[in-house]
Each structure stands twice: as C-alpha cells, then as structure tokens.
Amino acid sequence: MALYLVTGAAGFIGSSLCRTLLAQGERVRGLDNFATGKPENIAAFRSQIDFREASLLDEAALKDACAGVDYILHQAAIPSVPKSVLDPVTSHRANIEGTLNVLMAAREAKVKRVVYAASSSAYGETPVLPKREDMAASPISPYAVQKLCGEQYMTSFYRVYGLETVSLRYFNVFGPYQDPTSMYSGVLAKFCTAMLRGETPTIYGDGEQSRDFTFIDNTVSANLLAATAPAAHVAGRMFNCATGQRYTLNQTVEILRGITGYTGKVNYEPARKGDIKDSLADISAAEKAMGYKVLVGFEEGLKRTVEWYKSAVVVAQKA
C-alpha cells in the first residue's frame, strides 16, 4: 500500500479522492484548514485517514505531513475566479505560496510524485477549440494566473530538482459533495439545487457560453493515473482533464429540466468579469500518456449528481 497525501482533503475533489483511495486499500493522509473545505465531507471516513488540520502556509505542519509520503495529490486552493477578482492577495497566498510550500516539503521528504490540480482557465479567451496542451496560455483572471504559476513551479521542480510532477488542467468539475451554497462552487451545483428546491436558477450572460463539464469520477481517475503512470510518459508534463465534449449553459438547463422536472423560468444576469466564453478540451494526450478515459459522460453525471442532491441536507433545507 502506498501512502497518499491529499491536500484540500475536505474539499469537493479532495474528499472524493480520499474515498476512492480508501476503497482501493491505499493509506491516506489528509490536510485541510477548512477555509473552503467542510468537515462533513470527511466525517464518514475521518477516522480511517491520518487527518491534519493545517494551512499550506504553515511550513512546519506541511513538512510533517509530507514525511513518509509516496504521492501527493495537491488539490488545496481557493478555487474561484470571482473570489480572485475580489481579493487577489488572499488567493495568491493560498494558490501560489501554498503550492510552492508543497513542492519544497515534497522535495525534502523525497516524495515520489506530486500531482497538481491546475485549471483550464489558464487557456483564457482563445478562440481556437478544442484546447490543446501545446497552445499558448492566456490567463484572464488572477485565479488563472495563479494556477498557471503553479504549473510552472511544478515543471521547474521537475527540471531543476528531479521531483516528478504532473499537472492536470481541470475543466469544470461537478458531482456529489460539491457545495452549491459556496461562492467557490460551480454552476451545475447551483443549477441542480435551485431546480430541486423550485427556485429560479441564475445564468450570468446569455447562456450560450459553453463548458467541457467533467464528472468527478473522471477527475479522480485522472489523478490516480497521473500518480502512477510511467515517469517517462508523464513526469514534468501538463494534461487536460476533461471529456472532450461541451454544452452551453442553456442546453444544460434544458437537460436538468428533464431530470428534475423543473418547469420554472431562468434568471439572466450580466456576465461576470474574468469568465471565459467557451471551453472544450482535447484529451488525446492524457489518453495516450496515461491511459485516461472518460468513465462517466455528462448526462449520466448530471443524473447521479441530482440523485445525490435530492438526499443532501442542502436541498432539504431551503436557504
């Protein structure tokens, strides 16, 4: 059994990784300061992992957490474009300084590999679709800049220090355990819960913006493949983590109407600063290098997500 350190373990993606690793019989150490993660996300398995409540900015705690670790799945961040626009300094500290601290601690502990949660926002508003890893980055928001900087640090630590790193550019991850009440949450979580409650969902813009929505099981699979794939295929590289399909927000609303039975209206608000118009990934590099494949498609993922929200407290209790 390998020992995995999951940073951001109490978050949406981090907790999903922990559950899968435990199910596969791996040893898990989790790190989170609950700035955006939630204790309830790990409540069911907290006793089964070595959990540390600490910030990435606490270098001593991070050093201790990395001791004896084989693989780090670095998910911890302030994962929000709007938040980075409102408060770029705080998100800079978490997303850039925190990531550098992870790399320093990993290098000292002689960790085998660090897998980094990068972001498709690094591509920016380039008109060419699909997005390929060899395209020039053109980040718009402070968040996109921060996540791109993290990628560069990953590559640098591989080239300079020989620390194996892999960056995964996430494309709009969604699924169970994503908190719709958080300002950091994705649009699908908000759509699902609003419709289930009979409330009016809000779209920022005209709804014709498109996204490569990626169900959480695909993201978890990509992380585990990236951690264990042959170094010659993946070390020091960045890969798209997506499905290779895109849907507009208007299309998504119509699909969700069919799943939830919602018949009400949709509220349209002005587009938000920092948001891009369209996003679609070319996933062929990940398929070739690490055997990545889409396990769950968009519509099936939506059905599973809606079923989970139906039983979640957040739906039962209106805000």
Catalytic center residues = 143
Largest CA distance in the chain: 57
- The span from the CA of 187 to the CA of 34, in Å, is 21
Tokens 């309830």 found at: 40
**Residue type for 236, please?**
G
What's the burial of 25, exposed, middle or buried (CB within 10 Å: 0-12/13-18/19+)? exposed
End-to-end alpha carbon distance in the chain: 43
With b for 16 or more beta-carbon neighbours within 10 A and e for fewer, the 291-307 pattern comes to ebebebebbebbebbbe
- Residue 146, token pair as written in the block: 């921060």
What's the burial of 129, exposed, middle or buried (CB within 10 Å: 0-12/13-18/19+)? middle
Tokens 């390929």 found at: 132
Preceding omega of 130 cis (within 30 degrees of 0)? yes
